[in-house]
Amino acid sequence: MKTDVVIIGGGPSGLLLSQLLNKAGVETIILERSSREHVLSRIRAGVLEWGTVDLLQEAGVDERLRREGIPHDGCYLADEDQMIHIDFHGLTNKRSMVYGQTEVTKDLYAAQDRQGTPILHGVEDVVINDPKSDAPYVTCILDGTPTRIDCRYVAGCDGFHGVSRKTIPETVREEFERVYPFGWLGILSETPPANDELIYCHSDRGFALCSMRNENLSRYYIQVPLTDKPENWSDDEFWAELKRRMPAQSVETLVTGPSIEKSIAPLRSFVTEPMSWGRLFLVGDAAHIVPPTGAKGLNLAASDVFYLKEGLIDAIVNGDSTKLDAYSDRALARIWKAMRFSWEMTTMLHQFDGEDSFAPQMRKATLDHLARSESARRDLAENYIGLPY
First to last CA, the chain: 35
- Residue 194 CB neighbour total at 10 angstroms: 24
The residue (of 368 and 382) whose beta carbon lies closer to ligand FAS is 382
- Per CB under 6 A, 167 contacts ligand FAS: no
Residues tagged active-site: 72, 200, 292, 296, 384
- Can you point out the beta strands (E) in the chain? 5-8, 28-32, 47-48, 70-72, 75-78, 83-86, 96-98, 119-121, 124-129, 137-142, 145-150, 153-156, 174-189, 199-203, 206-214, 217-225, 259-273, 276-277, 280-282, 288-289
Q: Which stretch binds ligand FAS (CB under 6 A): 38-46, 110-118, 251-259, 361-369?
A: 38-46
Contact in structure between 206 and 82 (CB atoms under 8 Å): no
Smaller CB distance to ligand PHB: residue 15 or 338?
338
**Residue 228, class by beta-carbon neighbours within 10 Å (0-12 exposed, 13-18 middle, 19+ buried)?**
middle
Please identify, among the stretches 44-52, 168-176, 318-326, 361-369, the one whose residues bind ligand PHB according to the rule CB under 6 A: 44-52
Instruction: Assess 45 for contact with ligand FAS (CB under 6 A).
Output: yes
Sign of CA dihedral 57, 85, 183, 252: negative
Give the nearest residue (CB) to ligand PHB. 46
The closest alpha carbon to 212, from 86, 47, 386, 83, belongs to: 47
CA angle 335, 339, 341 (to 5 degrees): 120
Show Cβ contacts of residue 244 under 8 Å, excluding neighbours closer than 6 positions: 203, 205
Q: How far is CA 205 from the centre of its chain?
A: 26
279 binds, among ligand FAS, ligand PHB, none (CB under 5 to 8 A by kind): none
From the list ligand PHB, ligand FAS, none, pick the one residue 285 interacts with, judged by a Cβ distance below 5 to 8 Å according to partner type.
ligand FAS
CB closer to ligand PHB out of 101 and 164: 101
Q: Which of 72, 165, 202, 219 binds ligand PHB (CB under 6 A)?
A: 219
Query: Which of 272, 293 has the CB closer to ligand PHB?
Result: 293
- Per-residue interface string for the shown chain with ligand FAS, residues 101-130, x marking contact by CB under 6 A: x---------------------x--x----
Check if the beta carbon of residue 187 is closer than 8 Å to that of residue 242: no
Q: Does 211 bind ligand PHB (CB under 6 A)?
A: yes
Residues 271-300 binding ligand PHB (CB under 6 A) are: 292-293, 295
210 contact choice in ligand PHB, ligand FAS, none (CB below 5 to 8 Å, kind-dependent): none
Residues in touch with ligand PHB (CB under 6 A) = 45-47, 198, 211, 219, 292-293, 295
Residues in touch with ligand FAS (CB under 6 A) = 8-14, 31-34, 39, 44-46, 101, 123, 126, 157-159, 161-163, 265, 284-285, 292, 295-298, 301
